[in-house]
Amino acid sequence: MVPVLEQVSTTLKDNIQVVKIDTKKYTSIASKYNIEALPTFIIFKDGKPFDRFVSKIITR
């Protein structure tokens, strides 16, 4: 996911900000936003959570 997020961040740098949070280091942020699985994506609008989804990583 990291390469995709880096590309999105670069391409849309004038419109969005992509931020990664280390949930083990910042447990209070994980608790505040009810992050229970990784990776969890939270989209913020006007500084407030607008939408969220958990990506499922498929291994073969």
Residues 47-57: tens digit of each pLDDT: 999 999 998 77
29 and 21 Cβ atoms separated by less than 8 Å: yes
SS3 of the chain: CHHHHHHHHHHCCCCCCCCCCCCCCCHHHHHHCCCCCCCEEEEEECCEEEEEEECCCCCC
Write out pLDDT tens, residues 6-57: 999 999 999 999 999 999 999 999 999 999 999 999 999 999 999 999 987 7
Q: What domains, with CATH codes, occur in the chain?
A: 1-54 (3.40.30.10)
The span from the CA of 28 to the CA of 52, in Å, is 18
Could you tell me if residue 34 is left (phi over 0), alpha (psi between -120 and 50 degrees) or otherwise beta?
left
Global model pTM greater than 0.85 = no
